[in-house]
Structure 1
Amino acid sequence: MRNFKTSKKNRTNYIYYSADGQAIKIKPNEDEATTTIIVTLHSWDDAEFNADKRERYHVPVYMDAYCNENEDVAADRNPYLVDTASDPLESIIQSIEETEHKEKIGRLRAAIGTLKPQQKELIKKVFFEKRTNVSIADEEGVTEAAIRNRLKKIYEKLRKKI
Structure 2
Amino acid sequence: MLRNYKTSKKNRTNYIYYSADGETIKIVPNKNGVTDAIIATLHNLDDAEVDDNRRENYHTPMHIDAYHDKNQDDAADRNAYLTDNDSNPLENIIQSIEETEHAEKIDRLRAAIETLKPQQKELIKKVFYEKRTNVSIAAEEGVSEAAIRNRLKRIYDNLSKKI
Which TM-score tier does this pair reach, normalised by the shorter chain? 0.5 to 0.7
The percentage of aligned residue pairs carrying the same residue is: 74
* TM-score (structure 2 length as normaliser): 0.58
Give how far 1:121 is off: 0.4
Counterpart of 1:119 in 2: which secondary structure?
helix
Q: Output the CA distance in 2 between the equivalents of 1:136 and 1:75.
A: 51
**Structure 1, unaligned runs of 5 or more:** 1-58
Query: Counterparts of 1:74-113 in structure 2 under 5 Å?
Result: 75-76=77-78, 78-113=79-114
Give how far 1:61 is off: 7.8
Q: Is the 8 A contact 1:137 1:147 kept in 2?
A: yes
Q: Give the CA RMSD over aligned residues.
A: 2.0
Whether 2:161 is the aligned partner of 1:160: answer: yes
Q: Output the CA distance in 1 between the equivalents of 2:103 and 2:113.
A: 15
Query: Counterparts of 1:1-162 in structure 2 under 5 Å?
Result: 62-72=63-73, 73=75, 75-76=77-78, 78-162=79-163
Structure 2 vs 1, CA of residues 131 and 67 (structure 1 numbering), >3 Å: closer, same or farther?
A: same
Q: Is the 8 A contact 2:138 2:145 kept in 1?
A: yes
Structure 2 vs 1, CA of residues 69 and 154 (structure 1 numbering), >3 Å: closer, same or farther?
A: same
> AA paired with 2:99?
E
Q: Render the CA deviation track for 1:110-160: whole Å, top value 9, x for unaligned.
A: 100000000000000101111110011011110000000000000000011
Q: Output the CA distance in 2 between the equivalents of 1:139 and 1:88.
A: 53
Q: Is the 8 A contact 1:133 1:144 kept in 2?
A: yes
Aligned residues: 103
Q: Output the CA distance in 1 between the equivalents of 2:62 and 2:124.
A: 54
Structure 2 vs 1, CA of residues 61 and 132 (structure 1 numbering), >3 Å: closer, same or farther?
A: closer
Q: Render the CA deviation track for 1:90-109: whole Å, top value 9, x for unaligned.
A: 11111111110111011000
Q: Output the CA distance in 2 between the equivalents of 1:126 and 1:154.
A: 12
Q: Output the CA distance in 2 between the equivalents of 1:100 and 1:153.
A: 25
* TM-score (structure 1 length as normaliser): 0.59
> AA paired with 2:112?
A
Q: Is the 8 A contact 1:84 1:90 kept in 2?
A: yes
